[in-house]
Amino acid sequence: MSSAMIRAYCHKVIKLSGVLQTYAPEKECCENVHGVRQDFIQEGRRRALDAASLSGTNSATSELNEEVEGQVYFIGKILWAKGFELMLQLQEFYHECTGKYFAIDVYGGGPEEGEIKRAFHGRRNSWNGEESDSDSDSEDTFRDNLKKLKSIEVPKSLYEWRRKPIPANFCGPVDHSLLGKYKTFVNPSTSEVLCTTTFEALAMGKFVIIPVHESNKFFLQFPNCLGYRNKWEFAANLRWALTHEPEPLTPELAKEFTWEAATDRLIRSSAITRREAKERYNLGKAKLDERIAYFHRELGKHDALRRVLGGGPASNQVRYELERQGLDQENSEKFAMSSFVKAIKSTFISNNHHSQATSLSGGSAA
């Protein structure tokens, strides 16, 4: 149904990335028509000015220490669908390569935050600090232990049984523009259409480590975007990011993040060139689109399509709108009988009588 409606009523379909389904291939194109707030671009310019003032130390990679914490972060909803299982796998591989986990600060919240925390820290470390220090009698101690046993959740993943915790700090929700202290943004998620936080991190002049995926295709053009195809490339990119400084944000690159540039991309993508029009004509699907539109309009005239789809007659939409706004037929009748409506009616009636009297007097004078 969606494909039919798009074919009938759309001349051009602009998708944010290629992960979205195909509706009408000859009408579609992929383009990022989003921008970011000026706060992120200003942070990128600030970093560029700092880099220019310290240009003598930019090439001195020996002074950069990959052991320093507070360099890597993630921001987003705390859900397994956001790539946390992939991040755990990358942590384990990085540990195999270097003998240590990389420290990361996680910002955000979500319904699966508790189990994801246990997957990073382990159940044993999650229980630390929960033991009671009270010196009550044995009966109270038994009741407390029984309550703890009832509160224990079934493990959602094998990662919860880890003995060595991963140095991950879960810091809660925060505005992304306030995280200017970090240097590297890691986002292993492949479930996005177009990740806004990735775009914001690039606008702030940071390293961004993301998988080479159709949803990340637009970001790979930027010099600070470090894409990886496998775990080896991820480990190499992370080591590079921890021992180097990002490229300063140039004015040309900064413009790409603005909403003005996004509007230009939208206008450019929405245009139909003569070559595209000729290709569409040669495909011969214009007649099909017109027939779909005609068929949809004819069925809609007598509510036949709505009945087939279980929507009911269009007259029910009035009742639906009243219910949605917290009104009903009785309230609408009360409104019709209110003093406000009566005053308006009386005004129109008096004006009508006055105009009629004027016309009669004018006729008698003639």
The closest alpha carbon to 40, from 200, 211, 192, 190, belongs to 200
What the block records as the tokens of 304 is: 């036949």
Look up residue 80 and give its amino acid.
W
- One digit per residue, the tens of pLDDT, for the chain of length 366 reads 788 888 888 989 999 999 998 888 889 999 999 999 999 999 999 999 988 887 754 444 444 566 666 799 999 999 999 999 999 999 999 999 999 999 999 999 999 998 999 999 987 655 444 444 444 456 567 676 666 555 556 555 677 778 889 999 999 999 999 999 999 999 999 999 999 999 999 999 999 999 999 999 999 999 999 999 999 999 999 999 999 999 999 999 999 999 999 999 999 999 988 888 888 888 888 888 888 888 877 776 666 666 676 666 655 665 666 666 665 555 555 556 666 666 666 766 666 566 556 555 555 554
HSE value, Cβ hemisphere, 13 Å, CA-based, for 81: 6
Res 132: pLDDT: 43
Res 279: pLDDT: 87
The closest alpha carbon to 87, from 241, 240, 231, belongs to 231
- Per the DSSP assignment, residues forming a β-bridge with 75 are 107
The closest alpha carbon to 36, from 184, 239, 237, 205, belongs to 205
